[in-house]
Amino acid sequence: MRELPGIGSYTAAAIAAIACDRRAAAVDGNVERVISRLYAVDTPLPQAKAIIRGSALELVPSDRPGDFAQALMDLGATICTPRAANCLICPWTSPCLARQRGLADVLPRKAPKVAQPLRVGIAFWIERDGEVLLRRRPERGLLGGMMEIPSTAWQDELPHKPLEAAPVAARWRHKAGRIEHIFTHFRLELEIWRATNVRDATLPGGDYRWVPVADLAGEALPSVMRKIVVAMGKEAKAL
Protein backbone atom coordinates (compact mmCIF):
# COMPACT_ATOMS: atom_id res chain seq x y z
CA MET A 1 0.00 0.00 0.00
CA ARG A 2 2.87 2.37 0.70
CA GLU A 3 3.84 2.21 -2.96
CA LEU A 4 0.55 3.91 -3.87
CA PRO A 5 0.68 7.70 -4.37
CA GLY A 6 -0.32 9.61 -1.24
CA ILE A 7 -0.20 6.58 1.09
CA GLY A 8 2.30 7.05 3.93
CA SER A 9 3.23 4.78 6.80
CA TYR A 10 0.38 5.92 9.05
CA THR A 11 -2.36 5.56 6.43
CA ALA A 12 -1.03 2.19 5.27
CA ALA A 13 -0.92 0.86 8.83
CA ALA A 14 -4.41 2.20 9.60
CA ILE A 15 -5.84 0.51 6.51
CA ALA A 16 -4.02 -2.73 7.30
CA ALA A 17 -5.28 -2.82 10.88
CA ILE A 18 -8.80 -1.44 10.52
CA ALA A 19 -9.79 -2.71 7.06
CA CYS A 20 -7.65 -5.84 6.72
CA ASP A 21 -7.51 -7.00 10.37
CA ARG A 22 -3.70 -7.22 10.30
CA ARG A 23 -1.27 -6.49 13.13
CA ALA A 24 0.01 -3.04 12.24
CA ALA A 25 0.82 0.04 14.31
CA ALA A 26 -1.06 3.10 13.06
CA VAL A 27 0.96 5.88 14.67
CA ASP A 28 -0.40 9.41 14.36
CA GLY A 29 0.33 12.38 16.61
CA ASN A 30 -2.08 11.16 19.30
CA VAL A 31 -0.52 7.71 19.37
CA GLU A 32 2.99 9.18 19.50
CA ARG A 33 1.98 11.09 22.62
CA VAL A 34 0.41 8.07 24.33
CA ILE A 35 3.34 5.75 23.64
CA SER A 36 6.00 8.31 24.53
CA ARG A 37 4.31 8.82 27.90
CA LEU A 38 3.56 5.16 28.52
CA TYR A 39 7.23 4.25 28.11
CA ALA A 40 8.68 7.63 29.15
CA VAL A 41 10.50 8.01 25.83
CA ASP A 42 12.88 10.88 26.48
CA THR A 43 14.33 11.03 22.96
CA PRO A 44 12.90 14.11 21.20
CA LEU A 45 10.79 13.94 18.07
CA PRO A 46 11.32 13.30 15.23
CA GLN A 47 14.26 11.12 16.26
CA ALA A 48 11.97 9.13 18.57
CA LYS A 49 9.53 8.09 15.82
CA ALA A 50 11.17 4.71 15.15
CA ILE A 51 11.31 3.92 18.88
CA ILE A 52 7.65 4.86 19.33
CA ARG A 53 6.53 2.91 16.28
CA GLY A 54 8.35 -0.21 17.47
CA SER A 55 6.90 0.06 20.97
CA ALA A 56 3.40 0.60 19.58
CA LEU A 57 3.68 -2.46 17.34
CA GLU A 58 4.58 -4.65 20.33
CA LEU A 59 1.28 -3.67 21.95
CA VAL A 60 -0.94 -4.48 18.96
CA PRO A 61 -2.93 -7.65 19.70
CA SER A 62 -3.48 -10.33 17.08
CA ASP A 63 -7.19 -10.20 17.91
CA ARG A 64 -9.07 -7.07 16.74
CA PRO A 65 -6.05 -4.94 15.83
CA GLY A 66 -8.33 -2.43 14.11
CA ASP A 67 -10.31 -1.79 17.28
CA PHE A 68 -7.05 -1.41 19.18
CA ALA A 69 -5.74 1.11 16.65
CA GLN A 70 -8.87 3.25 16.92
CA ALA A 71 -8.96 2.95 20.71
CA LEU A 72 -5.35 4.11 20.96
CA MET A 73 -6.06 7.12 18.75
CA ASP A 74 -9.13 7.98 20.84
CA LEU A 75 -7.13 7.63 24.05
CA GLY A 76 -4.68 10.26 22.83
CA ALA A 77 -7.41 12.53 21.47
CA THR A 78 -9.67 12.53 24.53
CA ILE A 79 -7.67 11.55 27.66
CA CYS A 80 -3.92 11.62 27.05
CA THR A 81 -4.16 15.11 25.60
CA PRO A 82 -1.27 17.50 24.91
CA ARG A 83 -2.08 19.65 27.92
CA ALA A 84 -3.59 18.61 31.24
CA ALA A 85 -3.71 14.89 30.54
CA ASN A 86 -6.58 13.29 32.47
CA CYS A 87 -4.51 10.55 34.10
CA LEU A 88 -7.15 9.73 36.75
CA ILE A 89 -9.47 8.11 34.21
CA CYS A 90 -6.82 6.68 31.89
CA PRO A 91 -6.92 2.87 31.55
CA TRP A 92 -3.10 2.86 31.50
CA THR A 93 -2.60 4.92 34.65
CA SER A 94 -0.76 2.17 36.54
CA PRO A 95 1.85 1.16 33.94
CA CYS A 96 2.44 4.70 32.62
CA LEU A 97 6.07 5.56 33.32
CA ALA A 98 5.62 9.25 32.52
CA ARG A 99 2.96 9.54 35.24
CA GLN A 100 5.14 7.68 37.73
CA ARG A 101 8.06 10.03 37.02
CA GLY A 102 6.04 13.23 36.75
CA LEU A 103 6.87 13.69 33.06
CA ALA A 104 3.42 13.53 31.49
CA ASP A 105 3.26 17.28 30.86
CA VAL A 106 6.65 17.43 29.08
CA LEU A 107 6.41 14.36 26.86
CA PRO A 108 6.76 13.84 23.99
CA ARG A 109 9.82 16.03 23.78
CA LYS A 110 10.48 17.95 20.61
CA ALA A 111 13.84 18.93 19.19
CA PRO A 112 14.49 22.68 19.36
CA LYS A 113 13.58 24.50 16.20
CA VAL A 114 16.45 25.60 14.01
CA ALA A 115 16.22 29.11 12.62
CA GLN A 116 15.45 28.90 8.91
CA PRO A 117 17.58 30.90 6.49
CA LEU A 118 15.84 33.63 4.53
CA ARG A 119 15.87 33.80 0.74
CA VAL A 120 14.46 36.66 -1.28
CA GLY A 121 13.51 37.29 -4.88
CA ILE A 122 11.26 39.22 -7.25
CA ALA A 123 8.23 37.76 -9.04
CA PHE A 124 7.12 39.37 -12.29
CA TRP A 125 3.33 39.56 -12.76
CA ILE A 126 2.83 40.27 -16.46
CA GLU A 127 -0.63 40.85 -17.98
CA ARG A 128 -2.07 41.30 -21.44
CA ASP A 129 -5.77 41.27 -22.38
CA GLY A 130 -6.87 39.23 -19.37
CA GLU A 131 -3.95 36.80 -19.57
CA VAL A 132 -0.97 36.25 -17.28
CA LEU A 133 2.46 35.01 -18.32
CA LEU A 134 3.55 31.73 -16.74
CA ARG A 135 6.81 29.82 -16.97
CA ARG A 136 7.52 26.13 -16.38
CA ARG A 137 10.28 25.48 -13.86
CA PRO A 138 13.13 23.09 -14.73
CA GLU A 139 12.29 19.42 -14.25
CA ARG A 140 15.04 19.03 -11.69
CA GLY A 141 15.21 20.98 -8.47
CA LEU A 142 12.70 22.57 -6.14
CA LEU A 143 9.11 22.52 -7.53
CA GLY A 144 10.47 20.77 -10.61
CA GLY A 145 8.25 20.87 -13.68
CA MET A 146 5.57 23.06 -12.08
CA MET A 147 4.30 26.32 -13.53
CA GLU A 148 5.27 29.57 -11.88
CA ILE A 149 4.97 33.31 -12.04
CA PRO A 150 8.38 34.15 -13.57
CA SER A 151 10.82 35.23 -10.88
CA THR A 152 14.45 35.93 -10.18
CA ALA A 153 16.61 33.33 -8.49
CA TRP A 154 15.84 32.89 -4.79
CA GLN A 155 19.00 34.07 -3.05
CA ASP A 156 20.27 35.74 0.11
CA GLU A 157 19.89 39.22 -1.39
CA LEU A 158 17.73 40.88 -4.03
CA PRO A 159 19.49 41.36 -7.38
CA HIS A 160 21.06 44.79 -7.84
CA LYS A 161 19.59 45.06 -11.34
CA PRO A 162 16.33 43.06 -11.08
CA LEU A 163 14.90 44.21 -14.41
CA GLU A 164 17.67 42.35 -16.20
CA ALA A 165 16.01 39.16 -14.94
CA ALA A 166 12.53 40.16 -16.16
CA PRO A 167 11.31 37.93 -19.00
CA VAL A 168 10.02 40.87 -21.06
CA ALA A 169 10.70 44.57 -21.43
CA ALA A 170 7.83 46.57 -19.96
CA ARG A 171 6.83 49.51 -17.80
CA TRP A 172 7.06 48.05 -14.29
CA ARG A 173 5.21 49.07 -11.20
CA HIS A 174 7.70 48.54 -8.40
CA LYS A 175 6.51 46.52 -5.40
CA ALA A 176 2.93 45.85 -6.43
CA GLY A 177 2.74 43.30 -3.61
CA ARG A 178 4.72 40.94 -1.41
CA ILE A 179 4.30 37.37 -0.17
CA GLU A 180 6.01 35.06 2.29
CA HIS A 181 6.24 31.29 2.13
CA ILE A 182 7.83 28.64 4.34
CA PHE A 183 9.63 25.73 2.73
CA THR A 184 11.14 22.83 4.66
CA HIS A 185 14.64 24.27 4.77
CA PHE A 186 14.20 28.00 4.22
CA ARG A 187 11.83 30.94 4.39
CA LEU A 188 11.07 32.83 1.18
CA GLU A 189 10.02 36.45 0.66
CA LEU A 190 9.05 37.59 -2.83
CA GLU A 191 8.42 41.14 -3.98
CA ILE A 192 5.90 41.32 -6.80
CA TRP A 193 6.52 43.67 -9.71
CA ARG A 194 3.66 44.23 -12.12
CA ALA A 195 3.40 45.15 -15.79
CA THR A 196 0.07 45.53 -17.57
CA ASN A 197 -1.00 45.86 -21.20
CA VAL A 198 2.10 44.02 -22.39
CA ARG A 199 0.95 43.23 -25.93
CA ASP A 200 3.87 42.84 -28.30
CA ALA A 201 6.50 41.52 -25.92
CA THR A 202 9.03 39.06 -27.29
CA LEU A 203 9.34 36.08 -24.99
CA PRO A 204 12.79 34.72 -24.21
CA GLY A 205 13.78 31.11 -24.67
CA GLY A 206 12.17 28.69 -22.27
CA ASP A 207 8.76 27.24 -21.56
CA TYR A 208 6.60 30.37 -21.34
CA ARG A 209 2.94 30.70 -22.18
CA TRP A 210 0.06 33.11 -21.71
CA VAL A 211 -2.79 31.78 -19.58
CA PRO A 212 -6.20 33.42 -19.07
CA VAL A 213 -6.64 34.56 -15.48
CA ALA A 214 -9.84 32.52 -15.27
CA ASP A 215 -7.86 29.36 -16.10
CA LEU A 216 -5.19 29.74 -13.40
CA ALA A 217 -7.04 27.38 -11.08
CA GLY A 218 -6.43 24.55 -13.53
CA GLU A 219 -2.69 25.14 -13.74
CA ALA A 220 -0.14 23.17 -11.71
CA LEU A 221 0.74 26.16 -9.59
CA PRO A 222 2.48 25.42 -6.29
CA SER A 223 1.22 27.07 -3.11
CA VAL A 224 3.81 29.82 -3.17
CA MET A 225 2.65 30.88 -6.64
CA ARG A 226 -1.01 30.78 -5.67
CA LYS A 227 -0.16 33.23 -2.90
CA ILE A 228 1.02 35.62 -5.60
CA VAL A 229 -2.28 35.20 -7.45
CA VAL A 230 -4.15 36.04 -4.27
CA ALA A 231 -1.87 39.01 -3.52
CA MET A 232 -2.63 40.44 -6.96
CA GLY A 233 -6.32 40.44 -6.23
CA LYS A 234 -7.19 37.66 -8.70
CA GLU A 235 -8.39 35.03 -6.22
CA ALA A 236 -12.09 35.61 -6.89
CA LYS A 237 -11.71 34.56 -10.52
CA ALA A 238 -8.80 32.16 -10.35
CA LEU A 239 -9.13 30.14 -7.15
Q: What CATH number did the domain enclosing 185 receive?
A: 3.90.79.10
pLDDT of residue 57: 95
Q: Which segment of 30-34, 153-157, 171-175 scores lowest on mean pLDDT? A: 171-175
pLDDT of 205 over the 80 cut: no
For range 163-183, the mean pLDDT: 83
pLDDT of residue 178: 87
Q: Which residue has the higher pLDDT, 189 or 205?
A: 189
pLDDT digits (tens, 9 = 90+) for 17-72: 999 999 999 999 999 999 999 999 999 999 999 999 999 999 999 999 999 999 99
pLDDT of 76 over the 90 cut: yes
Looking at the domain assignment, is residue 112 inside a domain?
A: no
Q: Is residue 229 within 8 Å of residue 215, measured between CB atoms?
A: no
pLDDT of 239 over the 50 cut: no
Q: Which residue has the higher pLDDT, 203 or 234?
A: 203
pLDDT of residue 130: 87
Based on the domain organization, do 197 and 134 belong to the same domain? yes
Based on the domain organization, do 183 and 74 belong to the same domain? no
Based on the domain organization, do 124 and 232 belong to the same domain? yes
Q: Which amino acid is at 106?
A: V
Give the 3-state DSSP-derived string for 93-132, with helices as H, strands as E and coil as C.
Answer: CCCCHHHHCCCCCCCCCECCCCCCCEEEEEEEEEEECCEE
Q: Which segment of 80-84, 178-182, 217-221 scores lowest on mean pLDDT? A: 217-221
Looking at the domain assignment, is residue 109 inside a domain?
A: no
Based on the domain organization, do 122 and 233 belong to the same domain? yes
pLDDT of residue 175: 66
pLDDT of 168 over the 80 cut: yes
pLDDT averaged over every residue in the chain: 89
Looking at the domain assignment, is residue 107 inside a domain?
A: no
pLDDT of residue 160: 85
Indicate the number of domains in the chain: 2
Of 32, 50, 20, 72, residue with least CA distance to 1 = 20
- CA 76 to chain centroid, in Å, comes to 23
Q: Cα 74–80–86 angle (5° rounding)? A: 120
pLDDT of residue 235: 40
Of 89, 88, 85, residue with least CA distance to 104 = 85
Looking at the domain assignment, is residue 4 inside a domain?
A: no
